[in-house]
Amino acid sequence: MNSDEFRKAAHSAVDEIIDYCDTVQDRRVVSNVEPGYLRKLLPSGPPEDGEQWADIQKDIESKIMPGLTHWQSPNFMAFFPSNVTYPSMLGELYSAAFSAPAFNWLCSPVVTELETVVLDWLARILHLPDCFLSEGEGGGVIQGSASEAIATVMVAARERYLTAACEKLEGKEKEDKRNQIMGRLVALGSEQSHSSTAKAAIIAGVRYRSIPCSLEDDLALTGDQFQATLEQCASEGLEPFYLTTTLGTTATCAIDRFNKIKAVKQNNQSFQNIWIHVDAAYAGAALVCEEYAHLAKDFAAFDSFDMNMHKWLLTNFDASCLFVRTRKDLTSALSITPSYLRNPFSDNGLVTDYRDWQIPLGRRFRALKIWFVLRTYGINGLKAHIRKHIMLGEKFAGWVRQREDLFRILTPPAFALTVFTLALPTHEGSQLPNGDTETKVNECLGTSNILPRTSTDQMERANALTKSVYESINAAGEIFLTSSVVNGVYAIRVVSANEKTDEEHLRKAFDILVKTTEEVLRKQ
C-alpha cells in the first residue's frame, strides 16, 4: 500500500467509522454469535498474494461486526463504560504513525516528556495532593490497566518492605532473611476490592487476605476493619505490607473510609511501612469536579493512586494513569539496565525512563491521545461530561424509588451507578417461616441491610426473581446490563456513564426493566 492508496483507504475507513459511531445505537448491543463462529468464516490461512483494501474492508461488516459487543452504544449500561471520542482516535492514529517501543527517553524524547507533562496536568485537574507531581519526588506514568498498576505497585511495595527489613544485612544472611520474610508477607484488600489485587498477590508471590465489609457501612472498608485485620495477621505471625483501598468499588461504587484508614496507619508504629494504594479506576474521573475534590484530601498519606481515563474520561483504551508519591520506590524495584540500554542521558540522571516505572520494557505513545482529549474538551468540558452522567444516574435512581412495589435499591447510588434488587411480592398478612412478614423482608433490602439470617429461603426467592429478570433482559438484546452478588444478595447494576447516553435511553431501559419484572412476577 503506497501513500496514495493509503490516503484513499484511510478516507474510506474514517467514513465507515463515523457511520458506525452515528448508528451504533441501532445495533443489538451484545453479540449473539456462538463460540468459534469466526474460524468457520475465515480461510485456513492468509492469501498467497495480497488483497485489495476494498476487499478487506468488506469483511469488517460481514465478519467482524457480528462478533462485537457495542460498548459505545447508549444502550450499553453494563460493567463500567469504555468511552472513546474522536480526539482520542486521532491520537491513536498519530501514535501508530510515530510507532516506537519508547523504552527510554532516547527512543523518542517527546514520548517521555509529553507523558510527564500531561500526567502533571491530570494530577492537578483531579485535585491530587502535590506529592504526586513530577516536580517533587513523585510523578505519574501511563499503565495499560488498573490491574497492571496494582501488580506494579505491589511488587514495588514488596521490595520496599524487604529492603527496609534487611538493610543492615549483607550476603547470605541478607538472602536468608529475605526468604524468611517472604513467606510471611500478606497483601490486603477488602471483600469489595477488585479481583486484580488477589491476582497481583499471586504474581508477587505473597499471601492475600480480604477484609470483610458490611452493608451497614455501605460496603466500604472502615478503619476498624483494617485495624482488626492487621491485629489478626500479627497474631498469626504474618506481615502485612500492602493494602488496596478503593474509590468506587466495582459492585456498588462504595468509597472506602480513607480518613479512618489513614489514622490506623499513622497510629500503628508497627505498620508504618505498609503501602496503601487507591484504586479509583472508574470513579476517580469524578475528582475533576470540585464537589468531589474533598475525597482526595487524605491521599497525601498514601503511596499511590490510579484512575482509568479509558473508562469515564473520554479516552479510548488503554490509558490507566498511575501516580506515586515517591518514584524512587518504583525505580528501585524495577530498574535493570543492561549494556544495550545504556546512554549518557540516562546514565547521568538527566531524564526519566518510564521502563523503570512498569513491568514491560516497551511502551506506546499513549500520552498523545490524552493530550488531544484534554485540549479538545478542556477542564470545563470534562466537568460537564461527568456532571451530566451523575445527574442521569440520580434520575434513574429516582425512577427506581418510585416503583417500590417492584424494586429495592441495595446501596446508595453513586457515580451514575444504581444497584438494586427485586422486591418480593407482598401479600397482606402473609407470614414467613421465621414469623416476619414479607413487607419486613423488603424493608431490610430497602434500607441497605442484609436479609435476616433466618430468611434464607426468602432471600433465595428474591435472588431467583432478580436473576430471572436480568437474564431475560440481556437475552432480548435491546439493552445490556450486568449483575452482582453483594453479601449474598443478587442485584442488577445500571450505569449511565456512556458518552452517548441521554435521558431517553435510560428511560427506555427503565421501562424495559418494569415490563420484564412484571412479566416475571406474573409467571410466578
Written as nine digits, the cell of 194 is: 477488585
Give yes or no for a contact between 458 and 441, defined as CB atoms under 8 angstroms apart.
yes
Encoded amino acid at 28, one letter: R
Looking at 6-15, 72-81, 173-182, 237-246, which range is the least confident one? 173-182
Q: How far apart are CA 90 and CA 85, in angstroms?
A: 9
Is residue 454 predicted with pLDDT exceeding 90? Answer: no
Kindly list the structural domains of the chain, giving each domain's residue range(s) and its CATH number in brackets, ordered by start.
3-68 (1.20.1340.10), 99-364 (3.40.640.10), 386-522 (3.90.1150.10)
* Among 104, 76, 81, CA closest to 317: 81
What's the mean pLDDT when you consider all of the chain?
A: 91
435: phi then psi, degrees, rounded to nearest 5 = 95, -15
Residues 524, 508: Cα–Cα separation, whole Å:
24
For residue 459, count other CB atoms closer than 10 A to its CB: 21
Res. 269 pLDDT band, cuts 50 70 90: confident
CA 296, CA 123: separation in Å to the nearest integer? 11
Neighbours of 511 (CB within 10 A): 11
Query: How far apart are the C-alpha atoms of 277 and 147, rounded to whole Å?
Result: 12
Give 139-169 pLDDT, tens digit per residue. 999 999 999 999 999 999 999 999 999 988 8
State the burial class of residue 99 (Cβ atoms within 10 Å of its Cβ: 0-12, 13-18, 19+): exposed
- The full DSSP string for 258-307 is HHHHHHHHHT-GGGTT-EEEEE-TTGGGGGGSGGGGGGGTTGGGSSEEEE
Kindly give, in sequence order, each residue whose CB lies less than 8 Å from that of residue 443, ignoring residues fewer than 6 positions away: none
Amino acid in the structure at residue 135: E
Which of 248-257, 260-269, 342-351, 480-489 is predicted with the least confidence, judged by mean pLDDT? Answer: 342-351
Q: 3-state DSSP call for residue 107?
A: helix
Query: Dihedral through CA 358, CA 363, CA 364, CA 367, nearest 10?
Result: 40
110 pLDDT exceeds 80?
Answer: yes
Return d(Cα 163, Cα 185) in angstroms, integer: 13
Q: What share of the chain is helix, strand, coil (3-state, %, to 5)?
A: 55, 15, 35
pLDDT in tens, 39-68: 999 999 999 999 999 999 999 999 999 999
Q: What is the pLDDT of residues 306-323, one digit of tens each?
A: 999 999 999 999 999 999
Q: Which three cell numbers stand for residue 200?
A: 497481583
Q: Percentage of the chain surpassing pLDDT 70?
A: 93
pLDDT at 411: 93
The DSSP H or E segment spanning 494 is strand 489-495
Please count the other Cβ atoms lying within 10 Å of the Cβ belonging to residue 32.
Answer: 11
Q: How many CB atoms lie within 10 A of CB 318?
A: 17
Q: What is the mean pLDDT of residues 417-434?
A: 66
